[in-house]
Amino acid sequence: MLLSMVNMLLRDQYSSLDELCASEDIDRDSIVKSLADAGFEYMPEINQFR
């Protein structure tokens, strides 16, 4: 669920993970860690977690 929501926001509203985190007041490290624990990593060149 987190993966889908974050990727949707990155696709539709934000040009980077940093912009998303700053705008929504979200801790970047916690999102990256949570998704890494599930086997996903942020790919800035495509602005998505995969």
**What was the pLDDT predicted at 13?**
98
The domain locations on the chain are: 2-49
pLDDT band at 43 (very low <50, low <70, confident <90, very high): very high
pLDDT tens for each residue of 3-32: 999 999 999 999 999 999 999 999 999 999
State the pTM of this model.
Answer: 0.92
- Contacts of 9-18 with C-beta under 8 Å, sequence gap 24+, read 10/47, 10/48, 10/49, 11/47, 11/48, 14/47, 15/47, 16/44, 16/47, 17/42, 17/44, 17/47
